[in-house]
Amino acid sequence: MTAQASGRFEVRDLTKTFQTDEGPVTAVRDVNFAISGDMFFTMLGPSGCGKTTTLRMIAGLETVTSGEILQDGSDFRRMNAFQRNIGMVFQSYALFPHLTVFENAAYGLRLRRASEDQVRRGVTRVLEMLRLDGLAHRFPADLSGGQQQRVSIARALVYEPGMLLLDEPLANLDAKLRVEMRDEIRRLQKSLGVKALYVTHDQEEAMAISDQIAVFSKGRLIQIGAPYEIYARPASLFVADFIGKANFLPCRLGPQAEGAAACTLKGGAAFEGVRLQPAVSGEEDWFTPDMPGLLMARPEKLWIKAADKAPDAPRGRAMRIQFLGSFVRYMVESAEARGPVIIDSPGFAEGVEEGDEVAFGLLAEDATVFVAAGADARGGMAA
């Protein structure tokens, strides 16, 4: 393991403002995160949220407007490309078309003036690692997309960088290959003990590959956490909505204590001790004055029954029933919710057909109740 791989990489208040014909555009605003050891760290967010700009500032391909980039406390930007010791993989592969697979992979070693012997050993090693050893003398045009992406990863790994930067490396591959390659990238990264800073807009890919995920929205980093934390305890409505599927049920709020609250849905179903989470600023229009809370629950946490089996539970109509193999998805129209209620049930609910009236519910411990940022949650308490 190199010194860098065991060390700590950090960005502080990283900001990028582009000057455009229409005026300044702040693509990245006050972003903070740290990556240590051999962590696989992913920046996740919709297109245009500033992921590539952040990565390009770290790679030195874009100037920094303000903020710091630090490697073990030293200014990363003062280091030259060799000292930074990063390997970069792009969505477009960016291979040299006139060079063979071997020479593409050798590029970083040749730049570093490695001996012929070092080049041969280094390239042979990475080509084997990426199962490209039979293709060393081919040109990029004679390779499949997956093979080309493997070459671009080989090229980034050949000089044993301390950190790999990958910008949507799998976006051009078909679905099956994407899943294979993401497992392979993680396996390689862990076996080499390097840090990975990975960019994707695909939340499932991020969940599958990452140790930590940083969720971005509109140039800001909204939440950092392990995949499970982000899914189970989203810190904003944007994150709840963007990661996996979420049900949002407007509610009135009762007494609260120690980060938990009582709440009541429109139809009267009451919950106690629900985890309370302030939304972030800018999310105010998710709330209404009469319903100042929004109970969020994941589809697999809801149960569903024929309406007559639970007369007091929230109600709706099963509009669509989809058998999805390992679970059954019920799409329920209900006056209780913003949008359709999605219920993922481990099996078919007895006596529930499409078009039927149904009852549904959940446990308080499986829900989160969001309130507007800065709101006094008791302000909307029902008398």
Footprint of ligand ADP (CB under 6 A): 18, 20, 25, 27, 45, 47-53
Instruction: State both tokens at 202.
Output: 């695909």
Instruction: State both tokens at 310.
Output: 């639970």
- Contact at 8 Å (CB) between 159 and 112? yes
Quick one: what does residue 162 bind among ligand ADP, Mg ion, none, with the CB cut-off 5 to 8 Å set by partner type?
A: none
Instruction: Closer to ligand ADP by CB, 165 or 313: give it.
Output: 165
Instruction: State both tokens at 1.
Output: 């393991």
Instruction: Closer to ligand ADP by CB, 16 or 252: give it.
Output: 16
Instruction: Closer to Mg ion by CB, 52 or 189: give it.
Output: 52
Instruction: Closer to ligand ADP by CB, 25 or 270: give it.
Output: 25
Which residues are bridge partners to 317 per DSSP?
A: 333, 357
Q: Nearest CA to 40 among 172, 199, 146, 159? A: 199
Instruction: State both tokens at 290.
Output: 């009469």
| Least separation in angstroms between CB 131 and Mg ion | 28
Instruction: State both tokens at 30.
Output: 């006050």
- The b-or-e profile of 104-139 (16+ CB within 10 A means b, else e) is bbbbbbeeeebeeeebeebbebbbebbebeebbeeb
Residue showing tokens 């697979």: 101
Quick one: what does residue 53 bind among Mg ion, ligand ADP, none, with the CB cut-off 5 to 8 Å set by partner type?
A: ligand ADP
What stretches of 73-168 adopt beta strand conformation (E)?
Answer: 74-75, 86-90, 163-167
Quick one: what does residue 48 bind among Mg ion, ligand ADP, none, with the CB cut-off 5 to 8 Å set by partner type?
A: ligand ADP
| Least separation in angstroms between CB 15 and Mg ion | 17
| Least separation in angstroms between CB 210 and Mg ion | 17
| Least separation in angstroms between CB 19 and ligand ADP | 8
Instruction: Closer to ligand ADP by CB, 90 or 287: give it.
Output: 90
| Least separation in angstroms between CB 168 and Mg ion | 6
Quick one: what does residue 85 bind among ligand ADP, Mg ion, none, with the CB cut-off 5 to 8 Å set by partner type?
A: none
- Contact at 8 Å (CB) between 320 and 362? no
Residues lying near Mg ion in the complex (CB under 5 A) are found at 52
Q: Nearest CA to 347 among 329, 334, 363? A: 329
Quick one: what does residue 20 bind among Mg ion, ligand ADP, none, with the CB cut-off 5 to 8 Å set by partner type?
A: ligand ADP
| Least separation in angstroms between CB 31 and ligand ADP | 11
Instruction: Closer to ligand ADP by CB, 49 or 251: give it.
Output: 49
